[in-house]
Structure 1
Amino acid sequence: MAVTQMPPEEQRTESSAFEIVRQNFSGTAGSALRTFGRGVILGVESVRGAVADIARRKFNVPETLHQAWFFISVTALPAILMAIPFGVIVSMQVGNLIQQLGADSLVGAASGLGVIKQGAPMATGLLLGGAGAAAIASDLGARTVREEIDALRVMGISPVHRLVIPRMVAMLLVAPLLNVLIIFVGVTAGYLVAIGVQGVPAGSYWLTFGSFTTLADVVVSVGKSILFGFLVVVIACQRGLEARGGPRGVADGVNAAVVLSVVAIVIVNLVITQLSAMFIPVRVA
């Protein structure tokens, strides 16, 4: 039986296509690793610079307060609007399931833990990754394409100390405040739904909420929000400072900052959730 062989032209075409795919993959992977490395360097430089500026009393307090107020103004109202339906959904879905199991008294614990451990930090990260990252990347990107960043370097002024560090500190200040606001609004919304719609006694709701929710859960939630804020500001500043190609480059940088921030938040949240489940188990009342 004769064996059919591929013609030499087709063999060369297939090998060349495979080589192109391999080169594209290696180039994309190498570019991603280099971008990640520059982000790590920027994050480390920002933290060191912030500590040094505070120690030498050269920290730019007015700019930090201005950026903090801006972040609050663009995220406070969306945070409330996001926390209300989230608290209602958690209370309704979890409450219906628990009522079917005959454990109505546990609605408070389940709703509170859902909002504190997952809902509040994720909502905080997504809000900062949306509004905050877009604002930072667009501002720094516009400065970059107008060559303001190069002008700062020519004058001997570090863009990291002048622009990045105030935004980083402002984000780290706003993130936990936003997280606490979402916790308060989400738990309150879940409480109103539980006692008004599902008929759960108010005392039972708060009793189980206090029995199962610990201070460690709140600390982990606030820590998540701070870490998410740090990731957002580093990614957004990097994309803004590396913007190229005029307005189109700024738009691409803003889009990349938002997408990368959301992806990083989801991945980091998954890792922290697994670690907290291993080392900080759910309290049994």
Structure 2
Amino acid sequence: MADRLANFGTNITDRLAGFGEFSRFCGHWAYWTVRKPAGYSRLRLLMPQLFTIGVRSIPVVMLVGAFVGAVIGLETYGQFEAIGQENKLGGVIALSVVKQIGPVLAAVMIAGRVGGAVSAEVGTMRVTEQLDALRVMGTDPIQHLVVPRVMACIIMLPILTIFSNLLGIAGGYLVVSTGFGVDQTDYWDFTAQLVTNWDVFTGLFKSVFFGLFIGLIACFKGFNCESGAAGVGKAATESFVLGFIAIIISNFFLAQFLNTLDPLINGIGGASVVG
């Protein structure tokens, strides 16, 4: 019994120590990002990360987004047809995709595709002592490696969310209009009526924070990985798992915060996307 209590206390202490290290890591990143913007404004560091993290992720995000939208249309058509409201499916699909599914889906795809890769890359540099070499040369590894990668995640995830939204709505349209015969004019009319500028903004706003969490967690795990190939693999796995958890938890609190602001943003919330 005493051993179990001791182990429990050790685990709690380790978790608190890990959280403290992560907080310090985030503070170091914030210093170079806010007080030393030259660290990420140099295109030679940022542009390759924008391409690797963002551009190369577009096809998979579009593909998954289209099929998720199609599945939503496929699964909801029967319920709406039963009450004679199938012509309103466009608005329902678009609203669910734009506010929740699109941002979360794009973030999860990036956490899996990019988060693990970034952790493995940075972790390999740690294991092979390349991070120490940067310090010897007078270069801060966080400024040189972390800032461009995190900024690339922050910049590209809203763009990827837009692709996910568009393909999700299009996928739903193909199923309910082409497959089930819902009038295409009704589909797009109800989409324009239900989805507002505020709805679009909320999804993109959340995606910025998702990108921040994914980038910071991935880089932190890489910086603190254990030695050897097994340590690098473990860091990549933990990066995805923790990134996924951060996305789901932060999505709840961000949604609650944005829903609280919704009544106050009458000018934006009441305006349709198509004006």
Measure the CA separation in 1 of the matches of 2:83 and 2:256: 27
The match for 1:4 is none
Provide the secondary structure at the position in 2 that maps to 1:199: coil
The sequence identity of aligned pairs, in percent, is 25
The match for 1:267 is 249
What is the TM-score with the length of structure 2 in the denominator? 0.90
**Do the aligned partners of 2:39 and 2:143 also contact (CA within 8 Å) in 1?**
no
Cα pair distance change 1:187/1:251, threshold 3 Å: same
Q: Structure 2: which 5+ residue stretches go unaligned? A: 264-268
**Do the aligned partners of 1:116 and 1:183 also contact (CA within 8 Å) in 2?**
yes
**Do the aligned partners of 1:61 and 1:166 also contact (CA within 8 Å) in 2?**
no
Measure the CA separation in 1 of the matches of 2:139 and 2:40: 13
Provide the secondary structure at the position in 2 that maps to 1:280: helix
Measure the CA separation in 1 of the matches of 2:74 and 2:39: 51
Report the CA distance between 1:58 and its aligned residue. Answer: 7.2
The match for 1:153 is 135
Matched ranges for 1:228-243 at <5 A: 228-243=210-225
Cα pair distance change 1:58/1:135, threshold 3 Å: closer
Cα pair distance change 1:155/1:57, threshold 3 Å: closer
Q: Is 1:113 matched with 2:56?
A: no
**Do the aligned partners of 2:32 and 2:143 also contact (CA within 8 Å) in 1?**
yes
* Count of aligned pairs: 267
Q: 2:41 aligns with which of 59, 70, 83?
A: 59
Deviation readout 1:98-155 (Å, 9 max, x if unpaired): 1112212321111001111111111111111111111110110000011111122223
Measure the CA separation in 2 of the matches of 1:184 and 1:58: 30
Q: 2:23 aligns with which of 17, 40, 45?
A: 40
**Do the aligned partners of 1:84 and 1:185 also contact (CA within 8 Å) in 2?**
yes
| AA of the residue aligned to 1:46 | W
Measure the CA separation in 2 of the matches of 1:223 and 1:36: 25
| AA of the residue aligned to 1:255 | T
Cα pair distance change 1:136/1:153, threshold 3 Å: same
Q: Is 1:30 matched with 2:13?
A: yes
The match for 2:228 is 246
The match for 1:94 is 76
What is the TM-score with the length of structure 1 in the denominator? 0.87
Report the CA distance between 1:215 and its aligned residue. Answer: 0.9
Deviation readout 1:40-90 (Å, 9 max, x if unpaired): 222232233123333x58733212100110113442121112111100011
Q: 1:216 aligns with which of 191, 195, 198?
A: 198
Provide the secondary structure at the position in 1 that maps to 2:36: helix
| AA of the residue aligned to 1:40 | S
Q: Structure 1: which 5+ residue stretches go unaligned? A: 1-17
Measure the CA separation in 2 of the matches of 1:203 and 1:191: 11
Q: Which entry has the higher C-alpha Rg, 1 or 2?
A: 1
Q: Is 1:175 matched with 2:153?
A: no
Q: Is 1:50 matched with 2:33?
A: yes
- Larger deviation, residues 81-90 vs 69-78: 69-78
User: What's the C-alpha RMSD, in Å, of the aligned pairs?
Assistant: 2.1
Report the CA distance between 1:23 and its aligned residue. Answer: 1.8
Cα pair distance change 1:167/1:186, threshold 3 Å: same
Measure the CA separation in 1 of the matches of 2:251 and 2:7: 30
The match for 2:266 is none
